[in-house]
Amino acid sequence: MNYTKEQIIAYCNDFSKNTLMETLKIEYIDAGEDFLVAKMPVNPSVHQPMGLLHGGASVALAESVGSAASHFFIDPKAQEVRGIEISANHLKSIREGFVFGTAKIIHKGRSIHLWEIKITDEEGNLISLCKLTNMVLEKKRE
């Protein structure tokens, strides 16, 4: 990875404009050689009818941070990333505050990246545990 932590965070937050990530108020906040972290507020806009964080919002956070992280292991001029499978186990509920999605690489192959994404609350309690598989594709020539 040839980017500074600050460059990674700025890039991820910039490409999130006018997307689902902006709608959910997902903000990238930390990065390293093998991980990326984003936070998302928990409020009525991401609740399910019982007033708890919607599992789909948790999965959107997980896929967003895992997919963004894969971009730093590819050549963006020649390659692109597609999420091909995601699974989530929702372990604890939350009504308000923030959740943090931390994506850590499990397998970094030429064509497949496998990520573990832990979603935690502000106290570090595990809310959801997700696994994301991304496929690396060659960009089609125009």
pLDDT tens-digit map of 83-107:
999 999 999 999 999 999 999 999 9
Give residues with Cβ within 8 angstroms of 127, minimum separation 6.
53, 58, 90, 91, 92, 93, 94, 99, 119, 120, 121
SS (H, E, C) 16-67: CCCCHHHHCCCEEEEEECCEEEEEEEECHHHECCCCCECHHHHHHHHHHHHH
What tokens were used for 76?
């963006």
Contacts of 59 (CB under 8 A, 6+ apart): 86, 88, 128, 130
- The pLDDT of residue 142: 66
Q: Is the pLDDT score of 40 beyond 80? A: yes
The pLDDT tens digits for 6-33 are 999 999 999 999 999 999 999 999 999 8
Reply yes or no on whether the pLDDT at 1 is more than 70: no
Residues noted as catalytic: 63
Mean pLDDT score across all residues of the chain: 96
pLDDT for 140: 85
Residue range 70-75: mean pLDDT, rounded? 92
Name the pLDDT band for 3 (thresholds 50, 70, 90): confident
Q: What predicted TM-score, i.e. pTM, was given to this entire model?
A: 0.94
**Is-contact 40 101, C-beta < 8 A?**
yes
Q: Taking 90 as the threshold, does the pLDDT of residue 82 lie above it?
A: yes
Question: What percentage of the chain carries pLDDT values higher than 90?
Answer: 92
Tell me which residue of 101, 111, 117, 116 sits closest to 138, measured CA to CA: 111
Helix (H) or strand (E) holding 79: strand 79-90
